[in-house]
A and B are shown apart, each in its own frame.
Chain A
Amino acid sequence: DVKVTQSSRYLVKRTGEKVFLECVQDMDHENMFWYRQDPGLGLRLIYFSYDVKMKEKGDIPEGYSVSREKKERFSLILESASTNQTSMYLCASSTDSGGYTFGSGTRLTVV
């Protein structure tokens, strides 16, 4: 089974902090994604990457950046955390032909 591992299950950060969310997948998938999940809004795409050092903006990239220095790792960075970034963050990976495999999620609270 493909495993997508997110480093933290729960995080509490203060407004203005720089926050790093880490995601690692172990099946050599080309594509990796970061979504945030909010009630009534489903999963909204923040950023995705289809190759090392490549990144593409999703629908809501403002306030976020990403880094993909190695194929297996995709990091989401909140440059200066704000309370409206309190959410569940889901990482996923996929091949070009298949469905996604999701991580367990990181519930981030910004106070």
Chain B
Amino acid sequence: GENVEQHPSTLSVQEGDSAVIKCTYSDSASNYFPWYKQELGKRPQLIIDIRSNVGEKKDQRIAVTLNKTAKHFSLHITETQPEDSAVYFCAASIKHDMRFGAGTRLTVKP
């Protein structure tokens, strides 16, 4: 089955700096790559996703890039704010089932 690895496990940045989280996946048939944000005590929420026919997608301060050849994808957050502090999960999916990375705890220091 699919195996997703995520790095780093923890990330601390100063407010206003950029944050980058990277993931790799093993199954070249994966075609859907969402990112989830989980604030403390809350459910994971979808923040952005990308499909395998697209190389990059941007939504305000958040962007995701996908390199299918290398089987890796990344989340980029620019101009970070304290409310961006959370655990972020990447995932890779083939149709029905999805596999998640282990998560990155992002801390944005004011």
Count of interface residues, chain B, beta-carbon cutoff 8 Å: 22
Size bracket of the A interface: 20 to 34
**Cβ contact within 8 Å between B96 and A96:** yes
User: What is the count of residue pairs linking A and B with beta-carbon distances less than 8 angstroms?
Assistant: 50
B42 contacts across to A, CB distance below 8 A: 104
Q: Residue A96 contacts which of B36, B95, B102, B103 (CB distance < 8 angstroms)?
A: B95
Bits for A81-110, please: 1 = Cβ < 8 Å to B, else 0.
000000000100000100111111100000
Bits for B82-110, please: 1 = Cβ < 8 Å to A, else 0.
00000001000001111111110000000
List the interface of chain B (C-beta within 8 A of A): 1, 6, 9, 32, 34, 36, 42-46, 49, 89, 95-103
List the interface of chain A (C-beta within 8 A of B): 31, 33, 35, 40-45, 48, 50, 56, 58-59, 90, 96, 99-105
